[in-house]
Amino acid sequence: YNTWKIDWKNAQLLNMTKEEHLRKKEAIDKYIYPKAPCGKPWSGGLPNVFIEANYWNKELYFKQK
């Protein structure tokens, strides 16, 4: 994705509490770790950079115009 095209002037960060971040990580783990009978994750082969970015303790939001 071309990050130069992101409307950064309308971006806002939400800082999570430790409890919120823990719940977010638990939800992500429930999505990415379960395996199908063939042994591969149900979620598919997600790139590590994608998974790591989603473990971030912040959420990025954009104001709607």
Q: Which residues contact 29 (CB under 8 A, 6 or more apart)?
A: none
Q: What is the predicted pLDDT for the residue at 29? A: 93
Q: What is the predicted pLDDT for the residue at 1? A: 61
DSSP 8-state assignment for residue 3: G
| Side chain identity at residue 46, one-letter code | L
Domain boundaries, the chain: 9-62
Task: Tell me the backbone φ, ψ of residue 29, rounded to 5 degrees.
Answer: -60, -40
Please list the residues that pair with 12 across neighbouring strands.
Answer: 61
Query: Who wins on pLDDT, 25 or 1?
Result: 25
pLDDT tens readout for residues 6-63? 888 999 999 999 999 999 999 999 999 999 999 988 988 888 888 888 899 999 999 8
Task: Tell me the backbone φ, ψ of residue 58, rounded to 5 degrees.
Answer: -135, 160
Q: What is the predicted pLDDT for the residue at 50? A: 85
